[in-house]
Structure 1
């Protein structure tokens, strides 16, 4: 299964932060491969901007662990609203529920 995280605004700060968080999460290693998706390099930069993160998941337990990791990232950022959009195929939507729920705004936000 693949879950794609995209930034909903032009800044990319939340996406860069989430990418670093997921790469550092020891519990995801060996279960979830996290890959950046970058845009085309410009004449001013050698590398393109981070446009998305693709999480390639090896099993059901990894989906739950990814949801836990995303929820911990969100909590570590003080619960402030993140501008992250999750893209999941229709077939994988039910299986990806733990990750989707982890990014839903709290009731008091």
Structure 2
């Protein structure tokens, strides 16, 4: 869930969500470096996680669409169709919170995170 939130927050450029989910992801066991890599869409040596992040990024960035190639790659890495369908729910929830934080101009009350372009 945190990887999906980080991916969607990056696609939506939601500074608050990227910062808040970096904190949560670190609690879940990710390192700061891994959270930055997930936000970039390149989570490293974990092909299964990378496939999931790619599907989530496409759903967020392509108005609900995920390419057959990305979906098939995720299935090849062991994700089930049911699990991938659940990704849509997680993406939708994160889109809502990202958009609301943009609208409300939510102040970042957690540690800021390094940019993904640097």
TM category (shorter chain) comes to 0.3 to 0.5
TM-score normalised by the chain length of structure 1: 0.33
TM-score normalised by the chain length of structure 2: 0.32
The structure where helix makes up a greater share of residues is 2
